[in-house]
């Protein structure tokens, strides 16, 4: 059974904007998740994987935190949302990786749950001096 667009928007607003969904779900009041963490991957993290699965390992790599508000993620519309501003990782200081996937999860480090993941339109080689980034509205998440 399919979900309505309104339900898809409500799910995305809850996850990405920390917006309560009346009579269904509320953002955790005692210690809500402040950021969602974007991770880069050298292969598909898979449906059973974590944020550590195939995660990038180039020097200076770290996950990128994007705040769970409308300043971090667009208000969901037509069942999708995206990053509201330029999303820049720290510049690579050595070694290299070929990045094929990106994921969004709950933890800054460790085996966080992957909430959403997808393949890049084309692989990107990250090496010394390159600062991976996604332009505004480039990280599109769709709920269907």
Half-sphere exposure for 53 (CA within 13 Å, toward CB): 17
Q: In the block, which residue shows the tokens 């510049």?
A: 91
Q: Among residues 144, 139, 129, which one has the least CA distance to residue 60? A: 129
pLDDT at 8: 97
Q: Among residues 49, 144, 56, which one has the least CA distance to residue 105? A: 49
pLDDT at 32: 84
Q: Among residues 95, 90, 112, which one has the least CA distance to residue 42? A: 95
Residue ranges of the chain whose pLDDT lies below 70? none
pLDDT at 27: 74
pLDDT at 28: 75
Name the pTM for this structure. Answer: 0.95
pLDDT at 14: 95
pLDDT at 64: 98
The two counts, helices (H) then strands (E), for the chain are 1, 8
Decide: 66 and 72 in contact? Cβ < 8 Å.
Answer: yes
Q: Among residues 101, 112, 111, 106, which one has the least CA distance to residue 139? A: 101
Compute the distance between CA of residue 110 and CA of residue 54 in angstroms, rounded to an integer.
Answer: 12
pLDDT at 29: 75
In angstroms and rounded to an integer, the radius of gyration of the C-alpha atoms of the chain is 15
> Percent of the chain beyond pLDDT 70?
100
- Burial degree of 66 (CB within 10 A; 0-12, 13-18, 19+): buried
């Amino acid at each position: 059974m399919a979900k309505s667009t309104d339900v898809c928007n409500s799910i995305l607003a809850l996850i990405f904007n920390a917006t309560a969904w009346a009579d269904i779900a509320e953002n955790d009041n005692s210690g809500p998740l402040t950021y969602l963490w974007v991770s880069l991957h050298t292969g598909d993290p898979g449906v059973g994987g974590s944020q550590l699965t195939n995660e990038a390992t180039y020097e200076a790599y770290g996950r990128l935190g994007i705040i769970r508000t409308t300043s971090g993620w667009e208000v969901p519309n037509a069942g999708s949302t995206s990053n509201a501003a330029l999303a820049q990782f720290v510049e690579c200081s050595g070694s290299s990786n070929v990045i094929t996937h990106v994921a969004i999860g709950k933890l800054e480090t460790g085996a966080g749950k992957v909430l959403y993941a997808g393949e890049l339109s084309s692989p990107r080689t990250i090496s010394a001096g390159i600062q991976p980034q996604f332009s505004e509205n480039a990280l599109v998440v769709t709920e269907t």
